Amino acid sequence: MSDLPRLGLLYLDHVLQFFAPSNFKGWPDKIEIVTYHWGNDKERFIKEVRRKKIDVLIGNIPATAYETFRGIARELPEVRFVPSLDTQFPNKSKENVTRLCEKYDIPIPPTQIFYDKNEAYRYLDRTTFPKIIKKSYGPSNYGGYFVHKVDTAAEAKALFDAKGYFPYYLQDFVPMAADIRVMLIGHRPVCAFWRRPADGGWLTNTSQGGNMDYADVPQEVLDLSVRVSKATKAEYFACDVAVGKDGSLSILECATAFAAFPYIRDWIGQYLVWLLSEGKFRKPWIPLYNWEELGKLSSRVLRRMRHIHFDQDPSLCASETGEMYQDFDEEQGYPLEVITPRDSEEWPSEQWQRTPLKSEPDSSPENDTSGNHAVSRTQP
Ligand SMILES: Nc1ncnc2c1ncn2[C@@H]1O[C@H](COP(=O)(O)OP(=O)(O)O)[C@@H](O)[C@H]1O
Ligand SMILES: [Mg+2]
């Protein structure tokens, strides 16, 4: 037995798995799997983690199990959750994304969240339009399906009355040129692409006809996504940055659960192998802007490609003419960083669990088979 920590993958019944043991190529020990079965499975789950002597439990927790897992994590203080429950805070709801951004002074579209209907409707009577209304919490990954544009107070009230969304989540409509999805590992951007609305539309979700491309993602967008990743202390992360027609940048969504091609999950695995072995294994080298090159391949190829490995050793990479491809070999201001475990709770449920529990069933994920809430799991 090595002196490495014992790893476990956190699975939930009926939820798509983000990681498989094969993502952790080279890890010499058995990687355990612990599956949560929903509905009062908490005590059994805790016992299984203890019995298997797991030190690090890796995986995304869907919104519908988030509060349960905050409780589980408290009962397993010796276990490191990767990502931590605090890091997964924005996975739970759009409200949580808003709270996170408010705390860290990260730009978001002006947003109002009400828990009182009268207060919400009074606000509607005095505010400006158009507004965006979103379902904050619940099964997601429907790509814009629970996001609505309203032009009058009457329309907004009719929508709330019909849909029953709670809390009342209202956002200023930002005329958007596009939004940009950025994926990060250890605070280093590893993939980024534009999503532009279809002609005449305003939703940029690719499932709603939006187009995507990988070219010329502005550095300011990468910088903003790094700020959000650092605010959540995320081992891996994705942000959607809205690019306004006026050039302004704001965060629309962010989460540790997101759609990622298998080779990106391999990169996360390789990063975690390096991180959790405290450097006994090779630090992965993921060139910045690799996406501009890989993005030229068809998604049919990208979906099947595994274990892409870049070598940073200049002796192996020099061309016949001795050229070193310097720009490709440098960190370019975005080092792959070590994320250390937290020693206290940043977003305790006593303070932040504000949705009535009746709307948070920990039974089955119902329609949410994605394993995530905030950022769609469907392939881009
Ligand atoms: N405040 C806003 N102003 C303009 N468009 C928005 C706004 N919020 C969201 N959108 C559009 O709606 C899409 C879906 O919203 P989002 O918050 O990402 O929810 P989800 O992807 O979970 O359905 C975004 O990708 C964007 O195109
Ligand atoms: Mg979205």
Among candidate residues 40, 18, 22, 39, the one with its CA nearest the CA of residue 31: 22
Question: Would you say residue 326 has pLDDT above 50?
Answer: yes
Q: At 326, which amino acid appears?
A: Q
CA-197 nearest atom, ligand 1: 27
Q: What is the reported pLDDT for 1? A: 52
Q: Tell me the average pLDDT of the chain.
A: 90
Higher-confidence position of 357 and 29: 29
CB atoms within 10 A of CB 284: 23
Q: What is the pLDDT of residues 333-378, one digit of tens each?
A: 999 999 999 999 999 999 999 866 555 557 655 444 333 433 443 3
Rounded Cα–Cα distance for residues 64 and 372 (Å): 9
The CA 203 to ligand 1 mean position distance, Å, reads: 6
The ligand minimizing its distance to the Cα of 195 is 1
Bridging pattern class, strands 7-12 and 56-58:
parallel
Residue 151's pLDDT is 98
Asked if the peptide bond before residue 167 counts as cis, ω within 30 degrees of 0, the response is: yes
Looking at the predicted structure, is the pLDDT value of residue 290 above 70? yes
pLDDT of 380 higher than 60: no
pLDDT tens readout for residues 45-85: 999 999 999 999 999 999 999 999 999 999 999 999 999 99
Q: What is the CB < 6 Å shell around ligand 1?
A: 109, 132, 134, 140, 143-144, 146-147, 171, 173-174, 176, 179, 202-205, 240, 252-253, 376
Q: Whose CA is nearest to atom 15 of ligand 1?
A: 144
Q: What is the pLDDT of residues 223-246, one digit of tens each?
A: 999 999 999 999 999 999 999 999
Q: Ligand 2: distance of its center to the CA of 248 in Å?
A: 18
* Ligand that comes closest to the CA of residue 205: 1
Residues 6+ apart with CB under 8 A from 208: 143, 144, 197, 198, 201
* Percent of the chain topping pLDDT 70: 87
Band the pLDDT of 197: cuts 50, 70, 90. confident
pTM, full prediction: 0.93
Residues in the chain, overall count: 380
